[in-house]
Structure formats: structure tokens, C-alpha cells
Amino acid sequence: MTINELCDVVRETSYSVHQYHRNGHLEKIYENALVHRLRKQGLIVEQQHPLTVFDEDGTVLGDYYADLFIEDRLIVELKACRNTAEEHVAQLLGYLTSARIHDGLLINFGSPKLYVKKYVMG
């Protein structure tokens, strides 16, 4: 499965979760629902997965925990707030850069309309 196909599956599954649960739950509820549904589709999904953060010279600085790490190549940052903010985007971009992962999705379940945006590190 290509990364674009994987992102499509995550988007469609997120939409299904949002249609059923709507907005108003805590982030952990959406995380658990999304993980459950993605695993039912046969995907490898890690919750609160530690990813190593590197400095520019390769020095290990520590770990951070991705909300979801899917198929060992896609970071998913989940939110359950009314609106996404620049800080949420900066958080995901920082994770992608520091952990040297190419693709990420920012998903917000907290508003009446589901928000999903893909970010790619060049």
C-alpha cells in the first residue's frame, strides 16, 4: 500500500469514527476508536509509540510519544478541540523533523466538522 493509500484509509476511517461518535468526547476515546477500526482492517497501529528524537548531527536527544504510528511510516497526531491552532501544526512538524519520519496527519475530532490535514517533510 502506498503512503497516499494509507492516508486515504486513515482519513476514511476517521470520518467513520466522527460520524458515529460526533464531537464532544475526550481525545483518548477517538484514539481508541480509530485504533480499533484500523486494526480491524489489518493495519499495524501503535498507540503512544516512542519515537527517537535526533539532533542534526545524529545525536539522540530522547523520545516523544506519537499518538499513533501506523505501518512504521505514518505519524498521526490527534486532537479533540474546537479548532486546530498553529501550535498543533508546529508540534506535528517538529515530530516529523526530529524523528526523521516523512509523513504525518493532523486529525481533529473536536469540532462538528472533522479536520484532517496531511503534512510531508521534504
CB contact at 8 A, 40 and 87: no
Q: What is the pLDDT of residues 42-92, one digit of tens each?
A: 999 999 999 888 888 999 999 989 999 999 999 999 999 999 999 999 999
Which residue type is seen at 87? E
How many Å apart are CA 35 and CA 10, to the nearest integer?
10
Write the CATH number of the domain with boundaries 3-120: 3.90.320.10
Per-residue pLDDT, 99 = 85
Q: What is the mean pLDDT of residues 116-121?
A: 97
pLDDT at 122 over 90: no
Measured at the CA of 31, the angle between CA 46 and CA 93, to 5 degrees, comes to 70
